Structure 1
Amino acid sequence: MRFMVMVKATGYFEAGIRAGKEHSAAKDAFLHDLQDAGVFQSAEELLPSSSGLRVVFPPGGGAPAMQAGPFLPEQEWIADYTVIDVDTEDEALKWVLRMPLPPGQGEHVIEVRRLASGTACALDARAQTMKADLQDQLSLLHP
């Protein structure tokens, strides 16, 4: 089962205040642990909502409205996410409880949600590129 682990942004994150080298090292170590366990799928950090754009589709149709960030805090910003592939929700929660969080930046919220099966390509971009390169090389050998 694949789960998306979403780290909600704080006011510190939105203001561009980073947690520092110790937190970055702890986060890198955590991601390495996920890789070693064979459950890591992907991870990315987002930019603050001030760099974002939101498209709002009105109920009943009509032209969508564009909204530039920053967005209101009650709309729950997301700072980063990690996708893991584990056997159970309990296993996903065990990984979340190990996730390092920056100290001294208030309350942190992490949301864990199971991804719908079959809606995403299982191959990452590097694997797709390697597959295409291999097919190109094979076509040279057997025209």
Structure 2
Amino acid sequence: MRFMMIVNATKDSEAGVPPSQELIDAMMSYNEELIKAGVLVAADGLHPSASAIRISYPDPGGKPKIIDGPFTEAKEMIAGFTMIEVKSREEAIEWALRMPDPHGFGEGRIELRQVFEPEDLTDDAESIARERAMREQLKHS
């Protein structure tokens, strides 16, 4: 089971304020624990929404609409993520609870969401096999 720990943005992260060295060190230690446990898939921080682009599809079958950042409501923005692969929802929660406060100052907020597996979306064996083959190819590239 794969889970994404979505780190919500704050006013500081949206303003481009870098994390403290103490927080960087704590996150590095946490990521090292995830690696040693063999559950880390990916982990990265994101630039503020000021440099983001939002693409929406306002009309079915219509032309996509492009909107440049920054976007308002920082609490709805994503500042980073950690993707893990674990055996259960409970294990994912345990790992999420061990993550250091991602912004310090008690402002951090993490949303934990399970990632769809191909079998969750379709019964078509060919589609499932294609998806699995693509994932294997990514692992070896």
| C-alpha separation in 2, matches of 1:35 and 1:60 | 42
The residue aligned with 2:140 is 128
Residue 26 (structure 1) aligned with residue 38 (structure 2): no
In structure 2, what residue type is equivalent to 1:128?
H
Residue ranges of structure 2 left out of the alignment (5+ in a row) = 119-130
Between stretches 69-78 and 85-94, larger displacement belongs to 69-78
Residue 72 (structure 1) aligned with residue 85 (structure 2): no
Over alpha carbons, which structure has the higher Rg? 1
| C-alpha separation in 2, matches of 1:123 and 1:50 | 35
Contact 2:8 2:75 (C-alpha < 8 Å) held by counterparts: no
Residue ranges of structure 1 left out of the alignment (5+ in a row) = 130-143
Residue 9 (structure 1) aligned with residue 9 (structure 2): yes
Deviation at 1:37, TM superposition (A): 0.8
Distance 1:128 1:35, change over 3 A: same
Secondary structure of 1:62's match?
coil
Distance 1:75 1:20, change over 3 A: closer
The total of aligned residue pairs comes to 127
Distance 1:21 1:74, change over 3 A: closer
Secondary structure of 1:3's match?
strand
The residue aligned with 1:133 is none
If the length of structure 2 is used for normalisation, what is the TM-score? 0.81
In structure 2, what residue type is equivalent to 1:103?
G
The residue aligned with 1:141 is none
In structure 2, what residue type is equivalent to 1:5?
M
The residue aligned with 2:97 is 97
Deviation at 1:21, TM superposition (A): 0.6
| C-alpha separation in 1, matches of 2:13 and 2:7 | 11
Cα deviation, 1:52-83, whole Å, max 9, x if unaligned, reads 10111013332221100011216711011111
Q: Percent identity?
A: 37
Deviation at 1:124, TM superposition (A): 7.6
| C-alpha separation in 2, matches of 1:124 and 1:19 | 34
Distance 1:123 1:79, change over 3 A: farther
